[in-house]
Structure 1
Amino acid sequence: MNEKYKIPAQTRIGHIHLKVSNIDNALTFYHDLLGFEITERMGDQAVFLSAGGYHHHIALNTWNSKDAPAASKNGVGLFHTAIVYPARKDLAAMLKRLLEADYKLTGGADHGVSEALYMDDPDGNGVELYWDRPRDEWPKKPDGSIRMYTRNLDIQDLLAELDK
């Protein structure tokens, strides 16, 4: 145990399972607005959603949370779920969809390595939608390590991606 363990580079986070107060309200956000597909539903207690037919990327349940109040912003727990889009154009299309639905964004940021949109789901859980820039474009410090930052996201430039 003297050797420091390093997690394999191919490791990934497979899915997130959220407690929600109402399955139908959560589905309006995750299925109807964000476009995740329902892979399985267990009445009004649980539903599993995916992108592209995977068994599930997001699970929602009311097992211990039916009709519960929104998540506290000041307590411990999940800060946000981050959903990565394959290309900038995909994020732009989702931004357009959110604007057309008049869905409230809580922020937008350029992190150098990525561009992101932030919002809350119906239960107050934070959600980040983003795309990663190619690794060779990530900003670097003089020692070669990654230099992330937070700058305002240029919404108009992102939307212009749809015209390309």
Structure 2
Amino acid sequence: MTTPIDPQTRIGHVHLRVADLDRALNFYCGVLGFALTQRYGSQAAFVSAGGYHHHIGLNTWDSAGGTPPPPGHTGLYHVAILYPTRAALADALARLDGAGIALSGASDHGVSEALYLDDPDRNGVELYWDRPEGEWPRDEAGGLKMVTRRLDLAALRAAATRP
């Protein structure tokens, strides 16, 4: 029997290999709105939300000018960025719309609403917000019952506070 991990444990950051640091920064800072916290020339940078030291690291140490891994290979499926409210997720959708970035998917999972897309290096990105836990769907025994339904993007867009 294993001892469970401390329930307060969180994933603090993700570090991505990218082909072009400026292109990656234009996406993560320019489109999504993260703040640049530190840059190491043309090789690496750290970005964050809310003043944290970094949520996302970006580097070209082994990947400058590289290509994404082909289908059928292991690696990162996606990084998930949790927004605090539905309105904040709607604002993120407005940013994507404004930048002409297409979604690869959008789902209502019952527990959350999620947008799926690729960054410029074809790293999968999920942008989502969690519904309050009391609203999560449950089965008859009280167990969590996640679902995958089409997300109403028009309704989400209407929730945006940004013009």
TM-score (norm. length: structure 1): 0.95
Q: Secondary structure of the residue that 2:37 maps to in structure 1?
A: strand
Aligned CA-pair RMSD: 1.0
Once the two structures are TM-superposed, the CA of residue 74 in structure 1 deviates from its matched residue by: 2.2
The aligned counterpart of 1:89 is: 87
- Report Cα offsets for 1:135-160 as digits up to 9, x if no partner: 00000011111100111000011112
Query: What's the offset of the Cα at 1:73?
Result: 3.3
Aligned to 2:110: 112
The number of residue pairs the alignment matches comes to 161
| CA distance in structure 2 between the aligned counterparts of 1:84 and 1:61, rounded to whole angstroms | 22
Letter in 2 for 1:17: H
The 5 A counterparts of 1:134-145 are: 134-145=132-143
| Residue of structure 1 equivalent to 2:59 | 61
In structure 1, list runs of 5 or more residues that go unmatched: none
Aligned residue for 1:26, secondary structure, equals: helix
Distance 1:94 1:73 in 2: 28
2:20 maps to which residue? 22
Residue 103 (1) aligns with residue 130 (2)? no
Q: Return 5+ residue gaps in structure 2 as ranges.
A: none
Percent of aligned pairs sharing the same letter? 55
1:72 is displaced (CA, Å) by: 2.6
Does structure 2 conserve the Cα–Cα contact (< 8 Å) formed by 1:39 and 1:49?
A: yes
* Partners of 1:71 and 1:125 within 8 A in 2: no
Shift of 1:104: 1.2
Distance in 1 of aligned mates of 2:136 and 2:37: 35
Q: Which amino acid aligns with 1:108?
A: A
Q: How many Å apart are 1:21 and its aligned residue?
A: 0.5
Please show how residues 147-158 of structure 1 align to structure 2 within 5 Å: 147-158=145-156
Matched-pair contact (CA < 8 Å) for 2:94–2:160: no
String of CA shifts for 1:87-110, please: whole Å, max 9, x gaps.
000001111121122111101000
- 1:123 aligns with 121
SS of match in other structure, 2:154: helix
Q: Secondary structure at the match of 1:105?
A: coil
State the alpha-carbon separation in 1 of the partners of residues 160 and 55 from structure 2: 26
Is the 2:119–2:125 Cα contact (8 Å) retained in structure 1? yes
Q: Where does residue 11 of structure 2 map in the other structure?
A: 13
Counterpart Cα distance in 1 of 2:71 and 2:52: 31
Q: Would you say the 8 A contact 2:104–2:116 is kept in 1?
A: yes
Contact 2:114/2:127, CA 8 A, preserved across alignment: yes
Alignment check: 8 A CA contact 2:29 2:35 kept: yes
The DSSP-based 3-state class of the residue aligned with 2:104 is strand
Question: Could you say what secondary structure the match of 1:162 adopts?
Answer: coil
